Structure 1
Amino acid sequence: MSIVRQILEPFGKVTKLSIKDNFCLYEAKYTFLSSAPLDRLKETLEIHLTRLNQSGVSVVITVYDNNPIRISSDNLGSLDEKVGLIVDELVYLEGDVDIEIRIDKEESVNLNIFDLSVFVEHIDSLSLQENLEAWSKFDLSTPFSVDVWEDTEPFTTESICFNSVFPNVNGKSDAITSESCKLDKLGKVEKRDKCGHFANAAQFNFIPNDFKVCCDKNKQLKNFFNGLFNSFLIVYLSDFSSISGDTIKYRLKGYKLLSGSVDFSDLMEHDSSELSRIYEWTYLEGNYTDKIGLARNIISIHLNGECILSIECGTSDSVKSGYDLYLKDNVKQYIEIKNKISDFLQSQSDKALDMTKSMFSMFKTGLWTFTTFFITVFLLRVVNKGTLSGVFGFEVYVVSLLLIVISFIYLLISVMEINSDRNRLIEKYSDIRGRYKDLLDKADLDKIIDVETVSLKERLYINKKRNRYILMWIITNLVILIAVSILYCSSAGSNVERDIETEKVNNLNGLEVFTSKIPQEDEVIVTSQEHDVRVESKLEGQESKPLTEVSSASGLDLKSK
């Protein structure tokens, strides 16, 4: 069944003169007998022209006689008049009459084909570049329907569906709806441009899937679309490609440089299963940059000749195996990087511990300085004087205060130093993260080294230790200050008592001198109460007198004693 045949049916037996069917125009010329009955011509033309008009095509039927009569689908109001003229004219004609059916397809959204075999002959006559220019006029980003106005077997690619407009016995079309057209076409084009250059990219925005055959009941269409499919497989796997006329040129940089050109006729018959599997694997998922680089390397060393079409069977499996090894190496490198970061974190933690230990060492050094000083002072004083009395004098007290002041200055310097080292240590976390941000995924890097959390943790640890040592340092200095003050006050009191005892001893020494001058026959008793020393005579009749009086009588001067 064909709509053209249905239109010509009222004209009886017709003879085909010529048919042309392309992307823009259908034009067919026939002859029929002037004696044709023309039964139901008006009704037949009205039904079919209306349907064609609704599909977006414009139909003009011309009957050639002495005065050509044209019937247009855009002016069906004059159909009665035109049919009447044809009937009237045929009465006076004998023999064959020429009739032409011209259908303009430019305004239709879909592609309309009225004679599929003629259309296939047309696309076969075009070059590869001309075919792509024709198909580029249609939007293949969604399933694109090609309406065939005759009975035909369904034929589909992943983006194009050739469907007969006539229903089958079940009232349904045989077309297969292509779900693959929903693929991310734009994403694949972006990947191609990222690692390759297609010279005709501005003209032909296709992906191989647009022409991948799904239902291949029409052998002529199958070969044609297989050629287009293979062409874009080469485009999407090569570093550089261009299409000119019937030839596609390519350059592929792998372990070996592969460069050449292929005719469209060779591409139509070629079994592209290996290249197709490599393409699907490369562009489907995963890291495209790594995969396309590896695929090009493997392809370049798995060829039976110098042409990309001579690829060895099983190359796709080699590509996948190579990628698995590549991933294992990457995993090894990833583990090494992760271990390096872990070692860095551990070393930073050790540095934080060393920082706090260094402050504690400073504290011990200051404490040992005090200890050494006091031990030295006490030992020297005890050795020289043989007693602990009066060991801590004013000079020692002043030196002790000076050491305490120096200790506080030393504390301030230590705090400034540890704060500076702490800030520098925390900054290194951001530095190490910035160093690996180009190698690792941001989320994964945040998981391995969470700069904010780690920095806060180290800062709190260092600050806690620092504050603890500051408190110990201050308390120790205060204890030493209090102890020094107490020792100094005690030593000052001991010195006063020692001076009084010294004066008493001197007075007694003077008394011994005095008694040595008293006549031996006089027996005297010397007594002392407080500071009043008296001399008593044991001879009868002698009374006791104060030492001063006795000394005066004896001619001794004891005032200085």
Structure 2
Amino acid sequence: MNSIDSQILKNYLDSCKEKDLFKELNISEDFDECKIKIRLLSIEQFLININSDIYKHLFSAVFSLKDHIDTIKININDNVETLESFNTLEEVSIFNYQFDRSDKEGSLEIIISKVSNEYTTIYFLDNFIEFLNNTSNISFIFELFEKHNNKFKIFSEQNFLVKTNSFYFASAQNFDPLVVFENKNADKLKKINENCHFGNAASIKFLPEDFYHYFNNSFPNQNFKNLFERLSLALILRVFSDVSEFDSNKLTYKMFGYKTIKHEYNFMSLNTKSLNDYYQSYNDLFFDNSNFIDKIGLARNVISLHTINQDFTNIKGDIYSSIKSNYNIYLKENIKKYIDLKNKITDKLFTISSSFDNLVDDFSKSFKSSFYTLATIFLSLILLRLIKGSTSTIPIFTFEVYVFLISVLFAMYLYKKYILFELSHKKDRIFEQYEQLKNQYISLLDKSDLNELLMYENFKEKNNKYISTQTEQYSKYWNKTLLVYFISFTFLTICA
């Protein structure tokens, strides 16, 4: 038997049932285990013949199906307790019945426990999907997918491959445990939640693309296809709705477009015929990562006009083309206003940037003014000394004059410190004006668009570095100038 084909095992079990070897067959599977339960006509007859060819074939098939990481347990039960238990094929083969069981009905229970931390095995895909559909709680389905592995190794299909943004399902013979997923876009989820109220936002973190896969007409498992299409559409409709909530198996959506639409759906009967149209529209919202607020508003208007009987799943026409056309018209009608607005912001940003240049210029002028003042005093004393000549008995560089000159130098130093203090406060004030500019237009432009326009990532850092570099350079020149004059005044006074 092919070790990766559970359908052959299923067919074999069905044939045994038809031959009245079994009374009843039940297969169930969830994320944690796969359970095959067979109703026996006679426990004693089963145990007597447990090593017969037909049962050897059955147990061999079960153990060959099991993934090498998973564990298996075989129980023989009556209506009260487990009578016999086996963990390996060898234990079954060496079992010797002692004729100590009464001839009554019981059950053969085969439990395969899934223990891998890297992936989840699925032996009977239809039964696994049936388990999900029978939970009757869409929130619980999302919780299960959040809790368990996002890679699934499937034994029940020969040619199966589905890869979404977060999940990977593949036939055992094609399964790649090293497959890599795209990172979930937390910014996208945040943007969605900022523009609609979702009652389950705290517990459901999935995006439509986590369950969206383009299924062609030859897709091998219709139950899987239907489940994932319903999950994806449920998440897409919550994006386009202003208000939505998932409560058990009930989905509630409310949209405020040109018309207000409210509708409730049963998750199991959600019509997905418009899924691809909706998904194209959803994908376009984030195509260029800008103007999201405008796009979602236009989309809601278009959808509200295209729904029939206030049913989001009953759409007339092509909503994707309508949304795209309306958005293009919107851009053409508003392009001049948009350009004028961007030019206005650019002008204000230029004015703010110029303010930083003015701060450096003012500091430079203060330095030059200080330099000219000291130069004038020094040159005046030198000139006076030359005019009086060597015949004068009255010295120019006296101690009193020296004290006066040192006082002037100290005053110049304090003046520099005050200028730096004032410059720091003016710089902070300009940064406040920059933040005010951003807050003023944040409601008119998309956040990412505004950040790009304002160079938000490096504006502060760039200008702060420019101010610090320039003021530090002029401050060093200022200090050196004061030091040169101090040495000159001291030398001339001593020499006098």
Partner residue, 2:85: 70
Partner residue, 1:206: 206
Structure showing greater relative contact order (alpha-carbon pairs closer than 8 Å, 6 or more residues apart): 2
CA distance, structure 1, for counterparts of residue 82 and residue 455 of structure 2: 85
Residues 434-453 of structure 1: matches in 2 within 5 Å?
A: 436-438=437-439, 439=441, 441=450, 444-445=453-454
**CA shift in 2, pair 1:68/1:259, >3 Å:** same
Deviations 1:323-380 (A, max 9, x none): 223334553124324555788889xx9xx9xxxxxxxxxxxxxxxxxxxxxxxxxxxx
Structure 1: gaps (5+ residues): 353-422, 457-561
Partner residue, 1:482: none
**CA shift in 2, pair 1:83/1:96, >3 Å:** farther
Residues 125-524 of structure 1: matches in 2 within 5 Å?
A: 125-129=134-138, 130-139=140-149, 144-158=150-164, 159-165=166-172, 167=173, 172=174, 181-182=181-182, 184-215=184-215, 216-287=219-290, 288-337=292-341, 340=344, 436-438=437-439, 439=441, 441=450, 444-445=453-454
CA distance, structure 1, for counterparts of residue 254 and residue 331 of structure 2: 27
Q: With structure 1 as the length reference, what TM-score do the two structures score? A: 0.52
CA distance, structure 1, for counterparts of residue 191 and residue 345 of structure 2: 32
Residues 76-91 of structure 1: matches in 2 within 5 Å?
A: 80=90, 83-85=93-95, 87-89=96-98
User: How many residues are aligned here?
Assistant: 359
Letter in 2 for 1:26: C
CA contact (8 A) 1:145 1:162 kept: yes
Q: With structure 2 as the length reference, what TM-score do the two structures score? A: 0.58
Residues 513-552 of structure 1: matches in 2 within 5 Å?
A: none
Partner residue, 1:15: 22
**CA shift in 2, pair 1:16/1:289, >3 Å:** farther
CA contact (8 A) 1:304 1:311 kept: yes
**CA shift in 2, pair 1:187/1:69, >3 Å:** same
CA distance, structure 2, for counterparts of residue 59 and residue 270 of structure 1: 41
Letter in 2 for 1:197: H
Where 1:301 maps in the other structure, the secondary structure is helix
Letter in 2 for 1:60: K
Deviations 1:238-294 (A, max 9, x none): 121111122100111223222221222332553322211111111343222222222
CA contact (8 A) 2:26 2:36 kept: yes
Structure of larger gyration radius: 1
CA distance, structure 2, for counterparts of residue 239 and residue 233 of structure 1: 12
Alignment of 1:60 with 2:64, yes or no, is no
CA distance, structure 2, for counterparts of residue 319 and residue 237 of structure 1: 12
1:231 shift after superposition: 0.8
Identity %: 23
CA distance, structure 1, for counterparts of residue 51 and residue 86 of structure 2: 18
Deviations 1:381-412 (A, max 9, x none): xxxxxxxxxxxxxxxxxxxxxxxxxxxxxxxx
CA contact (8 A) 2:114 2:121 kept: yes
Instruction: Please give the root-mean-square deviation of Cα atoms over the aligned residues, in Å.
Output: 4.8
**CA shift in 2, pair 1:184/1:96, >3 Å:** closer
Partner residue, 2:374: none
Residues 38-53 of structure 1: matches in 2 within 5 Å?
A: 38=52, 52=66
Partner residue, 1:29: 37
1:16 shift after superposition: 6.4
1:161 shift after superposition: 3.4
CA distance, structure 2, for counterparts of residue 102 and residue 446 of structure 1: 61
Where 1:310 maps in the other structure, the secondary structure is strand
Alignment of 1:112 with 2:124, yes or no, is no
CA distance, structure 2, for counterparts of residue 307 and residue 156 of structure 1: 30
CA contact (8 A) 2:212 2:232 kept: yes
CA distance, structure 2, for counterparts of residue 92 and residue 262 of structure 1: 53
1:441 shift after superposition: 3.6
Letter in 1 for 2:228: F
